[in-house]
């Protein structure tokens, strides 16, 4: 019989966590908008321009 070890054995996928955070931010923006989000608004929420032009 195997028992899971006690303690900090959780594996974190940092890419998946970042994607979940961005999806949450996108859902918040969409729910706050009066109409559909434009492509520019989506890019802004997802910080697309920051990735293309790092400072």
pLDDT value of position 40: 92
Work out the number of other CB atoms within 10 angstroms of the CB of residue 12. 7
Gap between the Cα atoms of 46 and 25, Å rounded: 8
This prediction has a pTM of 0.62
Gap between the Cα atoms of 10 and 4, Å rounded: 11
Rama region for 7: left / alpha / beta (φ>0; ψ in -120 to 50; rest): left
pLDDT value of position 9: 54
- Condensed to tens digits (0 to 9), the pLDDT of residues 1-53 reads 666 566 655 667 888 888 999 999 999 999 999 999 999 999 999 888 765 66
pLDDT value of position 37: 93
Q: What is the CA radius of gyration of the chain?
A: 18
pLDDT value of position 31: 96
């Amino acid at each position: 019989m195997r028992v899971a070890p006690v303690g900090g054995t959780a594996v974190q996928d940092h890419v998946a966590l970042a994607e979940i955070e961005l999806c949450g931010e996108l859902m918040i923006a969409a729910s706050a908008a009066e109409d559909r989000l434009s492509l520019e608004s989506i890019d802004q929420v997802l910080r697309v321009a920051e990735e293309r032009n790092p400072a």
